[in-house]
Structure formats: structure tokens, C-alpha cells
Amino acid sequence: MDLDLPAISQLLARAAALESQDPLTRDRILLKRRIALLFYESSTRTRTSFELAAKSLGADTTLVSSLSSSIEKGETLKDTGLTLRALGAEAIIIRHNSSGAPWLLEQETRLPILNAGDGMHEHPTQALLDLRTILTHLDLSSKTVIPSEARAASAAEGSAVSSSTLSGVTVTIVGDILHSRVARSNMLLLPRLGARVILCGPTQLLPDSAANAGPGISVERDFEAALRQSQVVMMLRIQAERLAGLQIDLGQYKDAYQLTGQRLAAHAPKALVMHPGPIIRGLELTAGVADGPQSAILEQVRHGVAIRMAVVERALTAQPKEGRA
Ligand code: CP
């Protein structure tokens, strides 16, 4: 995430403006511009929301998936990118299992590249939509995060962000931090707005060295102690596809780190519960919590479309070499 705070404020403001704009005028913004979605990993939320976002702005989109394209025959990322450019793509949205793939693609194609998640590295638009979700629940006067049931009247959604917007707000990220690009992007973003970030999980999924990840970030192994300090709890899925032989005892994991209704009621009855998805009901959280009044999980999904409209618009209208999401 190499966006500065004014650029983040601008994206948030554009997301709000585009979301409320008449679809009949909004779809002229990128009318007939060509955008390729290049997905080497499966996705539901990110792929669909990027596609809906681009189409809402009038762009034509095409999906290239590793399972149904010449990537299966061995075509490289470089050659795939050059081919998409030759076909008229003006920007590429990429999800890849290797960290740094978006950077490489940009070097090779010189097109605007949007990172839809690269390996264990980053998922910048997820962090932006997570930020928008938190801001819609942030009461500016009391600097408290109000969960869904009693949403803040003075929500900070439309305001410019600064280095103190989230001061006094503690966000706990729980679970498989080691393999999570969502955790990494949020760890890079939220402390810059003044949030305190607690990382919580077992040593196998959260090495001790994470305590040195940056200012405003600390490690707490005791989930209930972390919950008691939190206004926002961000649960993560165990990324089975990236464990590479690491054995996790799921029974022990659930005992220590599953977010249950009982735990939530006892230790964080006013916290906002978030999860980037996909959720695994009965593992990192119970169905009751996922569907409960403190859950903002589907709101996060909804914010994905607005944020990605703003990001796609920026990519196709900004001057080259500005900060990218
Ligand atoms: N949050 C997220 O990246 O979900 P998908 O893998 O479904 O895109």
C-alpha cells in the first residue's frame, strides 16, 4: 500500500460519491474502456466486486482465470500480460499466488495494475474497504466504534482521514496472521490513522517477531485479554492452501481462538466483528457470531464495490507512477 493519507481520503470520498451517483451518468465515466481481470487464485468477493465496479463505471471487462486459459499450458505472467495488452486491455486487475506479481506485471506491461491479492504479501483494496467499514461505525465525538445495531449518528464515513482519525481505537486481528495478506495490508494502513493493532494467535501462525512489525502493533497471545481491549475484532481464516506442511491441531485452535457468542458477550459485547471472508463457520468463528448483531461481515463485502469503483477510476484516470492501491 503506497497511498498517502490525502490519496486515501480522496479514494474514500470518491467511493461515497460514486456509490450515490445515478447509474446512468456513472456508467459514462469509463465508457468502453477495457479492463482485464487476471486471476491465478480463486476468489468470490474480490473478483466479483472488481468486475461489478468496473462495469458500473461503463468499462468492458474480461476474465482470464488460470484454470481456463493458456496459463494452464505454461504461458508466463509476462506473456499473459503482454497478450492482454495487445488485445486492448488498458488496465489489469491481478490476483496471484506469488508475492510481487503485480509489480512484475507492471514492469513488463507498463499498464496500470491493480493488486487483488498477491501471495502472502498484500491485499490493499481489502484494507481500504475494511477502513471504510470501520469509519462507517466510528462515532467522531466519542471516538468509539458502534456495532451494527446502534450505528453511529456522526459516522466518519465522509470525512478526510488524518493520522489521528482512529486514535483511541484498538483493532485486534486474530488467527493466521503469518499467511494473511489482509492482515499485512491492515497492519500497514490502520496504525497510520492512529489505530492500535493487536495481533493474536498461536506461535505457529503468529511468530514472536511480529511484535516488531511496526509502530502501534503489538502481540497478545491470550484471545480473551485481547478482546477486552478491542473495539474491532478482525477474524481470519486459517489459510490451508498456504500451510505447506504446518500441522495445526484444530481442536486446540478452536479452544483458544474461536470467536464464540459466549466469548464475545463476556469480553467484547460492544466490539465490531469483521472478517475478510471466506468465513469457515464453526472454525474461526461460530455461525451465531457471523450472523449476529455485532457482525459487519456482509457490510465489508458491500463496501468492496464502492472502494473498487474509486480505485478502478483512479487507475484509469490518474497520471502514471502515482501511488497505487
Ligand atoms: N476477501 C477476499 O479476498 O475474498 P475472496 O478470496 O473471495 O476474493
Instruction: Please say if the pLDDT value at position 151 is more than 70.
Output: no
- 116-131 pLDDT, tens digit per residue, is 999 999 999 999 999 9
Please report the atom of ligand 1 found closest to the CA of residue 126.
1
Q: In a mutational test of the pocket of ligand 1, which residue from 39, 41, 42, 44 has the highest number of ligand atoms less than 8 Å from its CB?
A: 44
How far is CA 193 from each of CA 84, 139, 170, 277, 318, rounded to the nearest angstrom?
37, 15, 11, 24, 24
277 Cβ closer than 6 Å to some ligand 1 atom: yes
Q: Which atom of ligand 1 is nearest to the CA of 117?
A: 3
- The residues of the chain that CATH labels 3.40.50.1370 are 5-122+304-317, 162-294
202, pLDDT greater than 70: yes
Kindly give the distance from the C-alpha atom of residue 142 to the centroid of ligand 1, in angstroms, as a whole number. Answer: 32
Rounded to whole angstroms, the Cα distance separating 292 from 173 reads 19
Over the stretch 35-82, which tens digit does the pLDDT of each residue have? 999 999 999 999 999 999 999 999 999 999 998 899 999 999 999 999
Say whether pLDDT at 98 is over 90: yes
CA torsion 141→143→145→149, rounded to 10°? -20
Q: If you average pLDDT over every residue of the chain, what do you get?
A: 92
**What is the domain class of 5-122+304-317 according to CATH?**
alpha beta
CATH of 162-294, one of 3.40.50.2300, 2.40.50.140, 3.40.50.300, 3.40.50.1370: 3.40.50.1370
Dump pLDDT digits (tens) for 183-194: 999 999 999 999
Of the pLDDT bands very low, low, confident and very high (cuts 50, 70, 90), residue 142 is confident
Q: How far is the CA of 116 from the centre of ligand 1 (A)?
A: 9
* pLDDT band with cut points at 50, 70 and 90 for residue 213: confident
- By C-alpha distance, which of 166, 162, 107 is closest to 135? 166
Tens of pLDDT, residue by residue over 229-287, are 999 999 999 877 766 667 788 899 999 999 999 999 999 999 999 999 999 999 999 99
